[in-house]
Chains A and B, each alone.
Chain A
Amino acid sequence: MSSTAFVGQRVKRLEDPDLLTGKGQFLDDLKLPGMLEAAFVRSPFAHATFTEIDAAEARSMPGVIAVLTAKDLPPKMTGKRILLQVPHPQITYAVTQEPLATSEVCFVGEAVAVVIAESRHLAEDAAERVIVDWEPLPAASHCDAALKPGAPVTHACMTDNVAGRLSLGFGDVEAAFRNAAHVIEARYEPHRGTGHPMECRGVVAVYDLVSDAFRIWSSTQTPHNTQRAVIDMFGMAEDHVRVITPDVGGGFGPKNQVYPEELVIPAAARLLGRPVKWAEDRREHFLTTTQERDQVWDVSAAVDQDGVLLGVRGTLIHDAGAYLPWGIIMPYISATTLPGPYKLPAYRMAVTVAFTNLVPTTPLRGAGRPQAVFAMERLMDAVAQKLGLDPAEVRRRNFIQASDMPYDMGLTYRDGAPVMYDTGDYPEAQAQALSKAGYDDFPARQKAALAEGRHIGIGIGNYVEGTGLGPFEGATLRILTNGRVAIYTGAAAAGQAHRTTLAQICADELNIDVTDIDVVGGDTGVMPRGAGTYASRITVNAGSSVRIASVELRGKALALAAAKFDVKPEDVELTHGAVRIKGEQGDSVTFEELAKMTSGMPGYALPKGVKPDLEASGYFTPPQATYSNGSHVAEVEVDAETGQVKILKYTVVHDCGTVINPMLVDGQVQGGVAHGIGNALLERMVFDEDANPLTTTFADYLMPTAEIVPNCDIVHMESPTPLNPLGAKGAGEGGTIPAPAAIVAAVENALTPFGVRITDCPITPQRIVELISAAQDTTQEDR
């Protein structure tokens, strides 16, 4: 039986002491003897072909060891592309990047050569002297235009830009619309942004000729994916490729896929016989690290006279960018997320995934969900406007009730299991959020503000999020001969405090302190199988594995001690780092002694019939996703003259099941909201008509700062899931998902006197002024 000295507590982080004193070891901090540094030669064109790369001058530059093009890579890599992460039968052209492009580049920043030199400075000097005979081709610069007849094609071998089509839904949609009292139609367009962890990507590779083995450090969320891709590319045995994540300075999704550099740098290390490092700089990050969010939703809702949903149908265009490293999973997530917390009798969504000559898109904090929630919540607001109802009331009339759980949506999720909401109380979540936000008083406050010439508004964003995806994550626990307990897991952390969370779960089971536990994660050498840190899945998967393994290890420790004392296992108990015979002044044996007994050390005899096994492994395989939910309420003030938006108050009710560490969950939520604020108001990757990226510095691409992001009022509801032993659900992305919907709704609400409708995000001051101006022109025309 476990106690809960740690689980559920605001336990301080084990990660902090090193990070607060500069002792963290991030990728670019690694320095190996003889290490060289790399700089890539990248395409300036969004779409071009080339035949010759002239590197003669570059090769003669000071400190340059090599300039490698696709032709110079090992023969095994010839003609190969990066392993596709998630295959799907509906993909028309399953194309991923080549390690180095051989003849065609499809986005600005695609690499065609790499310079290896004694320092990054010298490598960059030479990279600018590599001359490529580019022949530019027309480029597709936006997903909507890319699907129009005659649009430039992203890949010269294709005749159009369709990367895949999906259609999903349930119920009799035609009947729903036939019988509707009202039909609301709209086009919603969330725009492309990016993850921007403060640490960019990076790779260090060492090749050991004696054992024909790679050791690769990568700033990645998924070391096992990198390992699989390297194995695939080089045709090596898996125990010859070890991928390690050092401290990772943030991920947010884009570090959850395999990049060309993770293959080219190992190839260079092998060719040159020296360690090679590539540390991505921010400009490269803007050009080459995956992005997300451009979608075009044309949706209609059919409702009855009371605003109760009868059906939703529409089309979704999803911008894939130039390649499909993640297949077409994101628009799939979008389409299955749209119904959200609402009872929807009929639903049909036709999805088209469009190639564009832009950086590929992959899951970014929220992964297709913020857009779907934006579309659905904006639609609910539009229903409210059409029927003259309060937006909260429309939602109340449509909620799935707690008593409906488990609720079968009627869709199949990305993991192949039905979309089956497990637990949650959606009406209560909204009710608590409204109460905390002072929603009932708001009309009076709004009226008073308006009398002073101030435009304030309030908006709601509700969501349900599939989290904790499988297939599995594993953990191995071992009691070490120094008496400490080690947890080995495949999960790689990027700021989420896995060490602390996993130690909390283990400490309660083994009745030790979290500081007695060492957590080693993100290393394929210590954990041969793993999926990775994405889809808000680590606490659910790795946490449950730790729980399972802890229970087993606890049993083994008790059994071993009982054997030593020659008593029954039920007669011994765990105390702090030891096992003792129950009762007063019973004999006890420390973990250290137990570990030494089983380590084969001379002088420590093993009791009869006991195996030298103070180790346990657990692999948790969830039966399906577990569904977190929440309600956000944003209150904003808009300067109707300048268009400036200030967030006055932000309320979050968040339900991620059992909370392991409320301090950490608060941190995930607050940080997630900040990202959502960026998506709502600030962050947009802008490209010109030739698909050149224009926002390539932090001066043009605006990240939320301390003066923009308010303190969120966070309320935790806990609806434990029966789907895992912890009762936990994912918490990493829920802060972001509904924020654009809530904030944009609040802005629109503030601008009620002008009759403005907002259908895209981020909503910039300029756009607000344009919308007000357009609305006023329309009003005048009406007169």
Chain B
Amino acid sequence: MIIENTLNLSLAPDDAWRTLLNIPYVAPCLPGTKLTAVVDERTYEGMVDLKLGPVSLSFRGTAVIEDVDPEAMKVRVSAKGREDRGRGSAHATVTFQLHPSGGGTRVEVATDLNLAGSIIQYARGAGVVTRTAQQLVDQFAKRLSTRIDSGEEPDPEAIKVGSLLWRGLTARLKGGKQDVPDA
């Protein structure tokens, strides 16, 4: 699944470039994401929590900056994660391509996402998964440009994506509970 987005940042291309390579700064913009370790300057460990209706998922994984081309202003990050209970795997390659745009920068973000595991082996939910992935990437773009433009830190709490498709961090992380009875 390929998801494409465009960010319009107020930063000049050189500043935008440095910002995007600052993973600890960028990572929390992906809803539900927490950086847990910096392995080296190109390798980071973290977790992404999300909620798909009644299903709470927690992915742990690694992101690696694989390809940095300052000339072309292009960077490729590959990330892979495994759901804590083995319900799924996510592999993503995200390419950022920067273009000068007025005084600011236009960033084209292409995400090639490969999801696998029981969470996606569900025909009725296929639309929701696709929509969720799309919204997650959309939110990432939006939150990143907000952070850059306003300096505002992303809300690590419940993240309301669209019609609350996403609730961001799981209740477990917050020490909270999910009290949803069931049919």
Chain A residues with Cβ below 8 Å from B121 are 108, 287, 692-694, 696
Q: Contact between A696 and B122 (Cβ–Cβ < 8 Å)?
A: yes
A283 and B124 CA atoms in complex are apart in Å by: 16
Q: How far is the CB of B61 from chain A (nearest CB, A)?
A: 11
A692 vs B125: C-alpha distance when bound (angstroms):
13
Q: Known: A134-B89, A700-B123. Is A44-B117 also a contact (CB below 8 A)?
A: yes
A283 to B117: give the CA distance in the assembly, Å.
12
A108 near B116 with CB under 8 A, answer yes
**CB <8 Å contact, A45 and B122:** no
Asked whether B126 is an interface residue with its Cβ less than 8 Å from the other chain, the reply is yes
In the complex, which residue of chain A has the Cβ closest to the Cβ of B126?
Answer: A694
> In the bound complex, what is the Cα–Cα distance between A699 and B124 (angstroms)?
9
Q: Which of A657-709 contact B (CB under 8 A)?
A: 686, 688, 690, 692-697, 699-700
A502 CB within 8 Å of chain B: no
Chain A residues, CB < 8 A from B85: 128
B80 to chain A, nearest CB (A): 8
Asked whether any CB of chain A lies closer than 8 Å to the CB of B101, the reply is no
A130 interface residue, CB < 8 Å from B? yes
* Distance, CA A130 to CA B85, complexed state (A): 9
Q: How many residues does chain B have at the interface if contact means C-beta atoms less than 8 Å apart?
A: 18
Whether A127 touches B122, Cβ cut-off 8 Å, given contacts A108-B116, A136-B114, A692-B116, is no
- A6 to chain B minimum Cβ distance, whole angstroms, is 48
- How distant is the Cα of A266 from the Cα of B141 in the complex, in angstroms? 53
B118 at the interface (CB under 8 A from A): yes
Q: For the complex, is B104 an interface residue (Cβ under 8 Å from A)?
A: no
Residues of chain A within 8 A of B91, CB atoms compared: 134, 136
**How far is A421 from B126 in the complex, measured between Cα atoms in Å?**
48
Q: Is B116 within 8 A of A694, CB to CB?
A: no
Interface residues of A (CB under 8 A from B): 41, 44-46, 108, 127-131, 134, 136, 283, 287, 686, 688, 690, 692-697, 699-700
Q: Complex Cα distance A754/B139, Å?
A: 46
Which residues of the partner chain B approach A108 to less than 8 Å between Cβ atoms? 116, 121
Whether A700 contacts B116 by the Cβ 8 Å rule is: no
Additional A-B contact list (6), CB under 8 Å, known A134-B89, A688-B120, A700-B123: A44-B86, A44-B116, A46-B116, A283-B118, A695-B123, A696-B122
Provide the residues of chain A in CB contact with B88, threshold 8 Å. 44
Q: In the complex, which residue of chain B has the Cβ closest to the Cβ of A134?
A: B89
Asked if A44 and B126 sit within 8 Å, CB to CB, the answer is no
The answer to whether A688 touches B118, judged by C-beta atoms less than 8 angstroms apart, is no
> B182 to chain A: closest CB distance in Å?
15
Whether the pair A686, B114 counts as a contact (CB closer than 8 A) is: no
Closest partner residue, chain B, to A131 (CB atom): B82
Of B89, B91, B118, B121, most buried by chain A (CB within 10 Å of CB) is B121
**Interchain CA distance A536-B82 in the complex, whole Å:** 46
Is A44 a contact partner of B89 (Cβ separation < 8 A)? Answer: yes
Instruction: Provide a sorted-by-A list of 30 A–B residue pairs whose CB atoms are within 8 angstroms.
Output: A44-B86, A44-B88, A44-B89, A44-B118, A45-B89, A45-B116, A46-B116, A128-B85, A129-B86, A130-B86, A131-B82, A136-B89, A136-B114, A287-B121, A688-B120, A688-B126, A690-B114, A690-B116, A692-B115, A692-B116, A693-B121, A694-B121, A694-B122, A694-B126, A696-B118, A697-B122, A699-B124, A700-B122, A700-B123, A700-B124
Question: Which residues of A are found within 8 Å of B120, using beta-carbon distances?
Answer: 688, 692, 694
User: Which single residue of chain B is at the shortest CB-CB distance from A696?
Assistant: B121
* Interface-central residue, B85, B88, B122, B126, by most chain A CB under 10 Å: B122
A686 touches B116 (CB 8 A): no
Q: Which residue of A lies closest to B84 (CB)?
A: A128
> How would residues 53 to 92 of chain B score, 1 for a CB under 8 Å from any chain A CB and 0 otherwise?
0000000000000000000000000000010011111010
A688 to B114 Cα, complex, angstroms? 11
Q: Could you tell me which B residues sit within 8 Å of A by CB distance? A: 82, 85-89, 91, 114-118, 120-124, 126
Min distance, Cβ A45 to any Cβ of chain B, angstroms: 5
The residues of A that contact B124 with a CB separation of less than 8 Å are: 699-700
Residues on the B chain within 8 Å of A693, using CB = 121
Complex Cα distance A696/B116, Å?
13
Bound CA span A127–B86, Å: 8
Cα separation A136 to B116 with both chains bound (whole Å):
10
- CA–CA, A130 and B87, complex, Å: 12
A46 to B87, CA, bound (A): 15
Q: Which residue of A lies closest to B88 (CB)?
A: A44
* Chain A positions within 8 Å of B117 at CB level: 44
Separation of A375 and B176 alpha carbons in the complex (Å): 59
Please give the distance in Å from B52's CB to the nearest CB on chain A: 15
| Top 4 closest pairs, chain A to chain B, by CB | A44-B117, A128-B86, A44-B116, A694-B123
Q: Which residues of A contact B87 (CB under 8 A)?
A: 128
> Bound state CA distance, A627 and B28, in angstroms?
68
In the assembled complex, the CB of B92 is this many whole angstroms from the nearest CB of chain A, namely 11
**How distant is the Cα of A108 from the Cα of B117 in the complex, in angstroms?**
8
Alpha-carbon distance A700/B121, docked complex (angstroms): 10
Contacts of B115 in A (CB 8 A): 692
Residues of B within 8 A of A699 (CB): 124
- State in angstroms the CA–CA spacing of A596 and B73 once bound together: 95
> Which residues on A sit within 8 Å (CB–CB) of B82?
131
Closest residue on chain B to residue A287 by CB atoms: B121
* Chain A nearest Cβ from B87, distance in angstroms: 8
Chain A residue at minimal CB-CB distance from B116: A44
| Minimum distance in angstroms from B56 CB to a CB of chain A | 15
B126 surroundings in chain A (CB, below 8 A): 688, 694
A136 to B118, CA, bound (A): 16
B82 to A, closest residue via Cβ: A131
Q: How far is the CA of A686 from the CA of B125 in the complex (A)?
A: 13
The residue on A at minimum CB distance from B121 is A696
Complexed CA–CA distance, A134 and B81 (Å): 10
Which of B82, B91, B116, B117: most chain A Cβ within 10 A?
B116
Cα distance, A128 to B86, chains bound together (Å): 5
A127 to B87, CA, bound (A): 11
A688 to B116, CA, bound (A): 11
Contacts of A129 in B (CB 8 A): 86
A686 touches B89 (CB 8 A): no
Query: Which of B89, B122, B123 lies at the interface centre, i.e. has the most chain A CB atoms within 10 A of its CB?
Result: B123
A699 to B82 Cα, complex, angstroms: 27
CA distance A134 to B126 in the complex (A): 23
